Amino acid sequence: MFAKMKSNGWDTTLPLKWGFFFVHPNEAPLHSVYEELKDHDYRLESLHHADDGQWVLQVSKTEILTAEKLHRRNMAFNELAEHCGVDLYDGWDVGKPED
């Protein structure tokens, strides 16, 4: 993925806006996830009821991540979801930082 980003003109050595998603049938455990993350500079992007009836928490953080750091973050977020009783850590997306 990082090679594809670079080939598309993204400079992955600069800070990018990384989004992370958690999914659960009700919203209460998602609040627990955000409580764990907010003191680590994660921003609440949305907490919404999706079309499939699930609740989705999206948080973001603008930072520099390598492929290895992103992998470790994904593993940690799987553990965080389990710790907070959330059904699913649903992965990440990335975008250019907002000015």
pLDDT of residue 15: 96
pLDDT of residue 99: 56
Domains and CATH numbers, the chain: 17-61 (3.10.28.10)
Residue 70 Cα to chain centre, angstroms: 10
pLDDT of residue 73: 98
How confident is the model over 12-66, as pLDDT tens digits?
A: 999 999 999 999 999 999 999 999 999 999 999 999 999 999 999 999 999 999 9
Residue 37: CB atoms within 10 Å: 19
Nearest by Cα to 61 from 1, 21, 9, 10: 21
pLDDT of residue 53: 94
Alpha-carbon gap, residue 55 to 27, rounded angstroms: 6
pLDDT of residue 98: 78
Q: Where are the alpha helices (DSSP H) in 1-99?
A: 2-7, 28-37, 67-84
pLDDT of residue 17: 97
Cα 70 to Cα 45, 63, 76: the distances in Å are 19, 11, 10
How confident is the model over 84-94, as pLDDT tens digits?
A: 999 999 999 99
pLDDT of residue 79: 98
